[in-house]
Chain A
Amino acid sequence: DQQVKQNSPSLSVQEGRISILNCDYTNSMFDYFLWYKKYPAEGPTFLISISSIKDKNEDGRFTVFLNKSAKHLSLHIVPSQPGDSAVYFCAASNPWGGSQGNLIFGKGTKLSVKP
């Protein structure tokens, strides 16, 4: 049963516009969330994170919003650039570790930014 879900496998956006990538989670005990970006033939790279004590974290063009009551987070990229085209993974920190490891990943959303 997926505890971290990214329901949109792909998203296409025009350059200069906003990209919004969504992520839902099921376990209210998750207390830290991360976004990773992955280009083809490379490993995922850390992009931005948010603690559950906050509802927003911003880093340049990237902002992550957390809605704990809805168990939902989103990554906003403004303005989107063609170089942002990649697969974006949402991950939740699993404080108990164990068989799921300390990070539980969604399946990813492939973002395409068109010039």
Chain B
Amino acid sequence: DSGVTQTPKHLITATGQRVTLRCSPRSGDLSVYWYQQSLDQGLQFLIQYYNGEERAKGNILERFSAQQFPDLHSELNLSSLELGDSALYFCASSVGHDNEQFFGPGTRLTVL
């Protein structure tokens, strides 16, 4: 158990809908990262927050947004969902901008 929690574990929704994925980092970790893993793909970096502020932004679609709250949990919002958004979404945390990141179990999103 990495100490990073993600909810929900599975999400099935329809095209055009909007969903919110939630992540709670390890106790004491200030950085939260979001990654997308599509079929046969590696982990694609989406966005990083550090202590409530956006720190780095990857190839995150405009339909996607995220935030980190004062209690350091983070949410990833995906809207106007398309079939191609079906993927595993991982959250990771680290103390600072550390190399070693601790990953949550992921949320599997299926868009039908």
Q: Mark A36-75, 1 if CB is under 8 A from B, else 0.
A: 1000011111100100000000000000000000000000
Cβ–Cβ contact A93 & B42, under 8 A? no
- B56 touching A97, Cβ below 8 Å: yes
Counting residue pairs across A and B whose Cβ atoms lie within 8 Å, the total is 66
What chain B residues lie within 8 Å of A99 (beta carbons)? 45, 56-59
**What 19 new A-B contacts, CB under 8 Å, besides A36-B103, A93-B99, A108-B42?**
A32-B99, A41-B106, A42-B105, A43-B106, A45-B2, A45-B103, A46-B102, A49-B99, A99-B45, A99-B58, A99-B59, A100-B45, A101-B45, A101-B56, A102-B97, A102-B98, A103-B45, A103-B99, A105-B43
Chain B residues at the A interface, C-beta cutoff of 8 Å: 2, 4, 6, 33, 35, 40-43, 45, 48, 55-59, 90, 92, 97-106
Residues B58 and A43 in contact, CB atoms below 8 Å apart = no
Q: Which 6 A-B pairs have the closest CB atoms?
A: A43-B103, A101-B45, A107-B42, A105-B43, A105-B42, A97-B56
